[in-house]
Amino acid sequence: MHDLMEDWRVTTRVLDHIDHATTDRGAETWREPVDHYRSETRLAAEIGLFRATPTPFCPSMALAEPGAFLAREAAGTPIVAVRGADGVVRAFRNACRHRGAQVACGAGKTKALVCPYHAWTYDLAGALRAVPHEDGFPGLDKTAHGLVPVRAAEHGGLVFVTQDGGAPPTADLLTGLDPAMVLVAHGETVIEANWKIVMEGFLEGYHIKGTHKDTFYPRQYDNLNVVEYFGPNSRVAFPYQAIERQRAVDPEKREALGGLTYVYHQFPNVIVATFPSRATFVINEPDGTGRTRQLTWTFAEKTTLKADRKGVSQGIDFVNEGAREDRAVNESIQRGLASGANTHFTYGLFEAAIVHFHKEMKARLG
């Protein structure tokens, strides 16, 4: 579906970069106005873009069986997604059609969505099924008072939601999560930084030595990446020192597994990062110009989890430590915005995926 290189080609390109002390470079630099990280008007436009774009809402595995639901705010809108008795995932605006209370909170499993205020009850397809003391609502048309749907579609192990308009997911989507993996952790973190600052930290390896000198850097390389694009999205490869083992393998038999992390960016605000035997799915939700709610789901291969649960746990802790280092820098950048030192941020040739991200934002927002 995507015009992305096979693993052996990526591995061979990494080895060539190691030999020549090079990395993938972009074709241009980019200047992004600092005001775009502080402006309420700009944020409102970005939220509008989110709502009009098919955007991952959660992994399919978060809604593993009929009756499973997940409720959260997406682009500032309360949404609940639920897997119906027919196995189809549907999404609705999370508000009762009586007085507007949210009909679901958090995640769980249910046979019906029941408003906690007056117990108006909706089935898993969103239809209004029961109204206590219904005689008090003469002439009520239940068929006109079902939950308000938003477009939902599953693709590659992810649930995509389009809030405004009926646009379906396009072909330029994440390659998805490995169905052989199981969900092992879910969390939410508040980062006191603009959502774009948080996104940018995933998209370049120029900072590996400076930010992660005691975590990622000893195992990876500083400023060595392979960068590819698919539609408005990108994939950045972050190689490990262990990739050197592939030199002894015939080029077309070389593997990426164990030799690098792929970071997939699904425009505008979603990341999937792959690790040996694991994967992490990340959504960066704007919560104001200077705050991001980061939702993460972590997956592990079934066989690895069964054989080495402790090792899987240690790997997750290691990645979480790197994430804490990134969060500290993100929040430092946000505080630095108030200094007035910069009117623009400058992104260089080593930050090509960030340049691609901002070009796509500009193409849609002007």
pLDDT of 125 > 60? The answer is yes
What order of strands is seen across the sheet that includes strand 270-275?
181-191, 292-301, 278-286, 270-275, 260-266, 233-239, 226-230
Reported as a single tens digit per residue, the pLDDT across 1-60 is: 478 999 999 999 999 999 999 999 999 999 999 999 999 999 999 999 999 999 999 999
What is the rounded distance in angstroms from the CA atom of residue 228 to the CA atom of residue 323? Answer: 23
What is the reported pTM? 0.94
Q: Give me the mean pLDDT over the 291-304 stretch.
A: 94
Q: Give me the mean pLDDT over the 337-344 stretch.
A: 96
Tell me whether domains 7-52+174-365 and 55-162 share a fold: no
292: helix, coil or strand? strand
Q: Which CATH class, in words, describes the domain spanning 55-162?
A: mainly beta
Reported as a single tens digit per residue, the pLDDT across 27-37 is: 999 999 999 99
- The encoded tokens of residue 169 equal 């997911």
What is the rounded distance in angstroms from the CA atom of residue 228 to the CA atom of residue 4? Answer: 7
Give the pLDDT confidence score for residue 22 in this predicted structure.
98
What is the rounded distance in angstroms from the CA atom of residue 209 to the CA atom of residue 215? Answer: 9
Domain ranges of the chain: 7-52+174-365, 55-162
2.40.10.10, 3.90.380.10, 3.30.70.2740, 3.40.190.10: CATH of 7-52+174-365: 3.90.380.10
Give the pLDDT confidence score for residue 171 in this predicted structure.
62
β-pairing, 233-239 with 226-230? antiparallel
